[in-house]
Amino acid sequence: MKTVSKIFTLVLVVTVLLTACAPKEADKLIIGTSADFPPFEFVDEDGEFAGFDIDLINAISEKMGVEVEIVDMPFDSLVASVQEGKIDMSVAAFNYSEERDEVVDFTTFYYYAMDGFLVSEDFADEITAPEDIAKYIVGCQTGSTQNAYIQENLIDTGLLPEENFFTYERVDQAALDVKAGRIDVLMAEAAVIGALKRKWAV
């Protein structure tokens, strides 16, 4: 199925999550990410972590003179893992939110993100505002700001029936489901939708 990406200017800032606790081993930082999110974090053809956030992690490591270990985890477990001190920090294209701010610390932001939709070409013209996706089968990543947006603006308002909404542990899986026609719309960062389209020709 041919897909199209639609971008709306829901601007969010992307930052790094930190725990207030000191690292368990002073000479090594354990950093959690969810490597399903090109161009921020993904696994490349050689099986290595790659992307903007991975470069950022390596720059932090170099500047601090500490070794880092990157751990790939489900996105919706990262905040709790930082909070519980299982990892020292998380770099995973996190947007600021008050809810997250109550339990972890944020660094200053390093990127302005825009949200977008990956949709089938068949009805791309019918989506001219974010609420228009409520007529379709919609997906997004579990625990993401997009999940919160859809819940508050489309589900809680009765626009999108709950049975037409699916959350995914991995964004790349959701993009493949759009391609396969199992869902109609994926909501994620616009840059990620562009990268997934290029990577898999979705």
Which positions lie near ligand ARG, rule CB under 6 A?
A: 34, 36-37, 41, 75, 92-95, 141, 144-145, 171, 189
Q: CB-side exposure of 88: number of CA atoms within 13 Å?
A: 18
Nearer to ligand ARG, 94 or 136 (CB): 94
* Residue 108 or 158 with smaller CB distance to ligand ARG: 108
φ, ψ (nearest 5 deg) of residue 16: -110, 140
CB of 189 to ligand ARG, least distance (A): 6
| 27 or 98: CB nearest ligand ARG | 98
Query: Closest approach of Cβ 18 to ligand ARG, in Å?
Result: 15
Bridge partners for 7 per DSSP? 116
Q: Which is nearer to ligand ARG, 1 or 59 (CB)?
A: 59
Determine contact, residues 122/153, Cβ cutoff 8 Å: no
In the three-class reduction of DSSP (H, G, I as helix; E, B as strand; rest coil), residue 4 is classed as strand
Smallest CA-to-CA distance from 72 within 99, 100, 45, 91 is with 91
Q: Answer yes or no: are the C-beta atoms of 113 and 190 closer than 8 Å.
A: yes
Query: Taking the complex as a whole, how short is the minimal distance between the CB of residue 112 and ligand ARG, in angstroms?
Result: 12
Nearest distance in Å: CB 197, ligand ARG: 16
